[in-house]
Amino acid sequence: MLVMWCTRTALGRLQRIAPCTVTGFNRAMSTLPKVYVTRKVPQDGLDILRKSGQVQFEMWDSDDPVPRVELLKKVKGCEGILCVLTEKIDTQLLNAAGPNLKVVSTMSVGFDHLSLDELKKRGIRVGYTPDVLTDSVAELTVALLLATSRRLIEATHEAKTGGWGTWRTLWLCDHELANSTVGILGLGRIGVAIAERLKPFKVKKFIYTDVAPRPELANMIEAEYVSLDELAKQSDFLAICCALTPETYGICDWNLFSKMKKNAIFINTSRGGVVNQEDLYEALSTGLIAGAGLDVTNPEPLPTHHPLFTLKNCVILPHIASASYTTRNSMSALAANNLLAGLRGEPMPKELKL
């Protein structure tokens, strides 16, 4: 495992120093704020941190998560942490970091891995990465919706494994988007972007629910505000776009599924925790709803023996909604810029209001 302290030399060259030699820093360098980067993040963000000359940072230089014990050790004394969504930033971690910690910058739009109350109490500022991933997430959501509703995964499997006997009149049929009602649970930037992409498929009507009507966004896609019950009852396609909060935890449960249409397709690209997966399994396996496409599950990864994997009408992706090179680099750059601005005591490009 390669873990490095990085800073600039007096000549401005990048310098990488193994952790054991950190004490070899001269006094000027060692006074730069210490930052821990919990994962190998895409290059654009690293370049920003390196070129800033503003921080000395250590990074867990791997695609896999840093072990918790290691993380707790590494954050000690840091003024900033740049993390990804797999790291729980909770009381234990904040205690381990200690009183120097000023900024937590997450390379994600979701923030359910952060103990916001605790961060607020300690006056620690939080950066996150909305907007830059909207296009990528919306695009993937549409792809998942079509793959699920038009049964693409099942169809390619049949074609590859000899199930393709002849052209049959109703084989692998499902429902189309044309003339359908699309429901959005949690209307934000991503919900709007999904609707904009679905509109050319001749969707008849968009409806949404949220904690309150959001007319400024809804007007962009001519969406009607309805109750959660109505959303369930009317939607042919239901896209879940809400943040995971204590209020939304398990909100997609039997109560919701039992009100949905038999032909309904359920799509979740937000967080797995909003879905009661046992109830979803029941709904899918008993034909209560037609299909589900999930980019997110609880837990992640979903164990390969999980019952949802046995269902033909459930398409499961490994949390890839924002996975385009452009988007991941933009997220990394925004996370780095949030961190640096926060450490300078300036407004962050995208700061979470606590």
Structure tokens at 8: 């600039």
Going by C-beta distance under 8 Å and a sequence separation of 6 or more, which residues neighbour residue 344? 54
Task: Tell me the per-residue interface mask from 293 to 332 with ligand GLV, x by CB under 6 A, - otherwise.
Answer: -----------------------------x----------
DSSP 278-304: HHHHHHHHTTSSSEEEES--SSSSPPT
- What letter would DSSP give residue 22? G
Q: Which is closer to ligand GLV, CB of 85 or CB of 104?
A: 85
109-128: which residues touch ligand GLV (CB under 6 A)? 109-110
- In the complex, least distance from residue 270 CB atom to ligand GLV, rounded to whole angstroms: 8
Structure tokens at 117: 């109350």
Based on the residue annotation, tell me whether 305 is a catalytic residue of this protein.
Answer: no
Stretch that binds ligand GLV, among 107-115, 230-238, 273-281, 298-306 (CB under 6 A): 107-115
Binding status of residue 65 toward ligand GLV by CB under 6 A: no
- In the complex, least distance from residue 112 CB atom to ligand GLV, rounded to whole angstroms: 8
Binding status of residue 85 toward ligand GLV by CB under 6 A: yes
- In the complex, least distance from residue 322 CB atom to ligand GLV, rounded to whole angstroms: 5
Angle at 50 between CA 47 and CA 53, to 5 degrees: 140
CA distance 182 to 159: 30
- In the complex, least distance from residue 133 CB atom to ligand GLV, rounded to whole angstroms: 6
- What letter would DSSP give residue 112? T
- Among 178, 177, 170, which Cα is nearest to 148's? 177
Q: Report the residue closest to ligand GLV, judged by CB.
A: 110
Q: Which is closer to ligand GLV, CB of 44 or CB of 58?
A: 44
How many residues make contact with ligand GLV (CB under 6 A)?
A: 6
Structure tokens at 33: 């704020």
Binding status of residue 108 toward ligand GLV by CB under 6 A: yes
- Report phi then psi at 292, rounded to 5: -140, 140
The catalytic site residues sit at: 319
Q: What residue ranges bind ligand GLV (CB under 6 A)? A: 85, 108-110, 133, 322
